[in-house]
A and B are shown apart, each in its own frame.
Chain A
């Protein structure tokens, strides 16, 4: 009897809903997220305002839709930078080995003990505020973890027969690395991507919650949470709305990652 992979099913379900919610937010929101409406200040969730309004009468659902888009953008970009650069570095060092590999791995070992979040924090303070800088800083500090995972896999693949046959048949190095080996390590990379994505969402949210690297006009979910905290006793639904979307975003991808791992066993 085949057991159903509920982790994967629910993960895909939640992620699809959240992604659709975010994509929709890029084109359409129920209200203008910046428009203040004095008539409906601090009103609790209702049919007109599903997540209520904030102290200035702005529709929270609309704000959360835009904010989730900003968070998603940063997380996606971070994973993209981390994965692409990490894969290239990991592939080259793992496949060729040599002194450069030794040196890079020593550096990697040394840095992996230190919380990457703090490195990103310092990096952003140097690069200056703005969503792009946040994305760049997080992307850079996430590169080593991907490089390490990819390197291990390429090192293992190097001595395997399919790679040796490809070498004998005269395939070019780039072809061997990215056409022959990469597809074979895809499952490992995919699970690293799901974990990395969640770490990126968390790091972005934490960073913008602290007010580091954000400009208020591109308010992401973390910034909204810190904004909501001042009025927690008046509009608790503001914090709930923003936080709920972060939780769903992470939960969905986390469940997919968990589901993928269980499928392999």
Chain B
């Protein structure tokens, strides 16, 4: 219990720090928001009126508290560039980003677990070496470059999708998911390599332990030991790592959305930054922070659910 409370405390601190950072950083920019909205020819009276309307005339701490309270109610303010409510803008763009993240995550899990187990099983063999070298290579290619290569190869040469023409969800599930497959693969590949490396390392570490030797001495087969005991023990570090990965995939999605012109949160964030649209940037960043916190907490609690040693503590202390 104490552990969970501490963990939640740290995660709340993450939210506070990130929101404070993004708020303070951008409040400097929003000072001239009224001028930006009305143009330089606006009369001082109108500027002043708009500032009051946007709440820009109040002191910073008050504005921060009001902003946080608004976020908690689901009111994220009004976008300076679109003149629309930020919650509405975000709601429209949530689906592509979420689909992309979940698809990439599914690819990571589906690819890295079998490959990781097989390379660990045949560690030192030719397959292991090929995968290690390939992994090093995959980790060196930035996802947006992979995305450009995919665009050229699958989009322009093989015509499997039309680059830039993102199909709406309503236009058909298959087309929608088919378009998202390539960007999802582009952000998944380096992560797959990292996960394979982690899993392989964990399995090999675990295989060094005494209980494995004992089981071998008792005549049980390697496969049996691997699948029944060793893998179970690598589950917790794997889950922790995957939880971190889901959290970071959102950041990766920001860039890849730009490569494939996907109208998601990432593009909203980038256009918000270029247009100094403080309410949009603040809301998106805090939303990402929230996602990161939830993923980390879920991974942690899941790990403790699976491994009783974490719950009760090996030394008897939690």
Q: Which residues of A contact B (CB under 8 A)?
A: 7, 106-107, 109-111, 113-115, 117-119, 121-123, 125-126, 198, 202, 205-206, 209-212, 225-226, 228-229, 232-233, 236, 239, 243, 246-248, 250-251, 254-255, 258
Contact = CB atoms under 8 A, between A and B. Distances in A.
Contacts of B156: 232-233
Nearest to A11: B136
Q: Which of A122, A250, A255 has the most C-beta atoms of chain B within 10 angstroms of its own C-beta? A: A122
Given A119-B21, A122-B26, A229-B148, A211 B289 contact: no
Given A113-B292, A212-B274, 8 more contacts: A111-B14, A113-B293, A115-B251, A205-B144, A209-B255, A225-B144, A229-B151, A232-B152
Contacts of B270: 210-212
B255 A246 contact: no
Contacts of B203: none
A254 B26 CA distance: 35
6 contacts: A7-B136, A106-B13, A115-B251, A126-B26, A226-B258, A250-B141
A101 to B, nearest CB: 16
B248 interface: yes
A225 B288 CA distance: 26
A79 B292 CA distance: 25
B273 A125 contact: yes
A125 B277 CA distance: 11
Interface residues of B, number: 48
B296 interface: yes
A243 B141 CA distance: 8
B229 interface: no
Interface in B134-178: 136-137, 139-142, 144-145, 148-149, 151-152, 156, 163
Contacts of B151: 229, 232
A258 B135 CA distance: 12
Contact of B145 (A117, A198, A243, A251): A243
Contacts of B288: 114-115, 118
Contacts of B292: 113-115
Tell me whether chain A's interface is mostly helix, strand or loop, or mixed.
Answer: helix
B303 to A, nearest CB: 15
B29 interface: yes
B17 interface: yes
Interface in B16-34: 16-18, 21-22, 25-26, 28-29
A213 to B, nearest CB: 10
A118 B102 CA distance: 20
Given A115-B251, A210-B270, A236 B17 contact: no
Contact of B136 (A109, A119, A225, A258): A258
A239 B220 CA distance: 54
A247 B152 contact: no
A114 B289 contact: yes
B145 A113 contact: no
A7 to B, nearest CB: 8
Interface string B212-242: 0000000000000000000000000000000
Contact of B18 (A106, A114, A255): A114
A7 B258 CA distance: 34
A144 to B, nearest CB: 11
A239 B22 contact: no
B281 A122 contact: yes
